[in-house]
Amino acid sequence: MKIAILPGDGIGTEIVAEAVKVLNVLDLKFEMETALVGGAAYEAHGHPLPESTLKLAKEADAVLFGAVGDWKYDTLDRPLRPEQAILGLRRHLGLFANFRPAICYEQLTHASSLKPELVAGLDILIIRELTGDVYFGQPRGRRTAVDGHFPGAEEAFDTMRYSRPEVERIAHVAFQTARKRNKRLTSVDKSNVLETFQFWKDIVTEVGKHYPDVALDHMYVDNAAMQLVKAPKKFDVIVTGNLFGDILSDEAAMLTGSIGMLPSASLNAGNQGLYEPSHGSAPDIAGKGIANPLATILSAAMMLRYSLNQAQAADRIESAVKAVLAQGLRTVDIHCDGNTKVGTRQMGDAVVTAITKTTIKS
């Protein structure tokens, strides 16, 4: 099992180190190789996704990714900005299906921005199409770029587009996933305004005829955003496009108490995947040892389950995270009175200890 380790920038190096620490106590044989990506790669190689990093990612069974970006790179021309690394990996690896679970652990109901009764027991999954939409449409209008900006430009545009095969394949993934859960799927669109999403809605409806056991409903994205904070437990599986999925999954993250708790998986047709926390590089807290590593550790658990066929090991990690939260250990983003505040390394060490104890008991 070959894993490409791409820590990236900011807190990426800190949180990935804790996930690697957790993987190393599982008594599984991994081949792990680390490479530069994002701003760190730009500094060393002049590009955020060097050929050597891309080659490693293509050869690996899975990629464990930290985060990329820093304010100091904002003046670079867009193709050289750190964020282009993640877009490039999605494109070159064909990572079209992004899974972002939003689970509110019992111990964190009071850390949510909503009332405990609204989020207690919350367990929803957002499936985001990842290689289409405006992020990969024809950019960006008439401009003369100077340091990545638009001095004196009269207009700019990005083209929203989807092809039938793109919508069909993400719809099949969503229906198949919903079938394994509670057999309920909500497709989120903006078909009342955008032709692209009338197209999306029509195709999702067609695909749904192949899954008569799954209840399908459609919802406009503005209503979905409202319902996520009004009655989030009405959802089970949500499928939507790239742009809407990006926004809604970050909104859903705050229902769980912190975006530092939200893992994600991005998969291609062969189940090769890139696994990363849903949060960013947070350069304002980088190097302070206070970042929450749990989203990255939980992303490693998703990696074991979806790409490496090690479901039992994934269960052990997830159980260890629950045990650590039950002990009252909290990083600053989820801390409240009565808990024990810990740093990044302490939280990682606690998860390792919890895994070791479960091994002894078994």
Q: Which residues are catalytic?
A: 135, 190, 222, 246, 250
117, burial (CB in 10 Å: exposed 0-12, middle 13-18, buried 19+): exposed
Structure tokens at 344: 């990044």
Q: Report the amino acid identity of residue 148.
A: G
3-state secondary structure of 355: helix
CA dist 315 and 300 (Å) reads 11
CA dist 258 and 12 (Å) reads 17
Q: Report the amino acid identity of residue 221.
A: V
**Phi and psi (nearest 5°) for 313?**
-65, -40
**Phi and psi (nearest 5°) for 265?**
-130, 135
CA dist 134 and 267 (Å) reads 20
Alpha helices in the chain (DSSP H): 12-23, 39-45, 51-59, 84-93, 116-119, 164-180, 195-208, 221-230, 242-255, 294-306, 311-326, 344-361
Give Cα 157 distance to the centre of its chain: 26
CA dist 304 and 23 (Å) reads 9
Distances (CA, A) of 198 to 118, 192, 220, 284, 358: 32, 7, 11, 41, 50
CA dist 24 and 28 (Å) reads 8
Provide the β-strand partners of residue 237. 125, 185
**DSSP letters along 243-271, please?**
HHHHHHHHHHHHHTT-GGG-EEEEE-TT-
